[in-house]
Amino acid sequence: MNSSTVSLPLVTELAAGPDPGTKPTLFSRDGRQIATYRSTRLEFRRGVIEQLPEDGILVIRIAPKASGPFSVAMTRAEFEKFFLSVLQTESWRIGRYNFRKFPPSAHPFLVELGTAPAIVPALRNERTERHQPQAVPSALEESAQYLRQVAAWRDAWRPERVRVLLVAESHVGEKPGDSQVTVKMPFATPEPLPGQFCRLVYCLGYGEDGICDPPPPAGNTGTPQYWRIFAEIAGLEPPTRPSFPFSTSRLNHRLAILRELRKRGIWLVDASNRALNRSRGKLKPPQYVQIIQRSWEDIVWPSVENERPDLICVIGHEVFSVLGHRPELHEALVISQPQDRDYVRHRDGMSRLLQAIRSVEAKRRPRKLT
């Protein structure tokens, strides 16, 4: 079902009218604020959208090189609801986000002129209709604020250039009361850190009740298994388990691990920008597959693609079974999850990962003159 915005007379008039040009135009008509511009791909521009009120309308004329032009239209409120994941990307923080391929999530916002469907790179028939975005399952409902905090904590530890990309499944979903929890560092740090809590390994409050105010009411076990991975890659001892009372030395040790990884260009991302494992259980196929594929193709990989990582390691065979067909992952290293029941298999994977990291780092070192 299409958005009601696309059938508004002023929208169809703009879609059928003259080329708006690449420079954004903002104006008022029929009591609505309108913004319009042309691009070769579906491209969202932060400076334009943030000037619109919630009911303000964005009309984008898309003119691909390989096909005829078509238009999409949506309100700012619709953009923030249906393209929430865009707001979490580094590209959006810088100022704009564009999709390399026209995403299925944008089909409800196509403007159809008369009875002829808009020309898009894929035909809109029964096959493509099956890929129309579905309502987000209740197991995946997370507040926009929580998802922003997940992105903020991850970005706080992003290297200047990502050289080794670790790909996990997803963060842990929001639980009741998490939005009320702040993370209060007991000392100043050189790097600015977010102040809100989330269940992501990069969040220093995850697993550390002593710096959470108030402690998360739904429990706060953290992910010690990923801290062991981090520590082993960094060449440091793993931090003591977070179940022990808070200590400044343990927090400093965690900071040392994160700083070492960042310095060496090693960064962990999640294949899915939304939590796949909530209190109601892990999401099942086909939704599991669809969400990971859409997130990776539209959000995660475009955010690091230009940095051309020297090494990609997928942590989890289930994730790789979904994404292994992607060309950027054809040479990726795959290891099992740290909670693998076959401990020997995970240890073998970690040994291969450490060797691969040493190899790519050795290639970057300048040769000594003899």
Which amino acid makes up residue 311?
L
Q: Is the pLDDT of residue 278 over 80?
A: no
Band of the pLDDT at 368, cuts 50, 70, 90? low
Task: Spell out the long-range contacts of 322-330 with Cβ–Cβ below 8 A and sequence spacing 24 or more.
Answer: 322/271, 322/288, 322/289, 322/292, 322/293, 323/167, 323/271, 323/292, 323/293, 323/296, 326/296, 326/297, 326/301, 328/301
- Give which of 228, 259, 170, 257 is closest to 353, Cα–Cα: 228
Q: What is the pLDDT of residues 314-364, one digit of tens each?
A: 999 999 999 999 999 999 999 999 888 888 999 999 999 999 999 999 988
Q: Is the pLDDT of residue 95 over 90?
A: no
Domains of the chain from N-terminus onward: 4-133 (no CATH), 140-364 (3.40.470)
Band of the pLDDT at 122, cuts 50, 70, 90? very low
pLDDT for res 132: 36
Structure tokens at 211: 């710096």
Band of the pLDDT at 140, cuts 50, 70, 90? very low
Tell me if the pTM is above 0.85. Answer: no
Radius of gyration of the chain, Cα coordinates, nearest whole angstrom: 23
Could you tell me which residue, 365 or 118, shows the higher pLDDT? 365
Mean pLDDT of the chain: 85
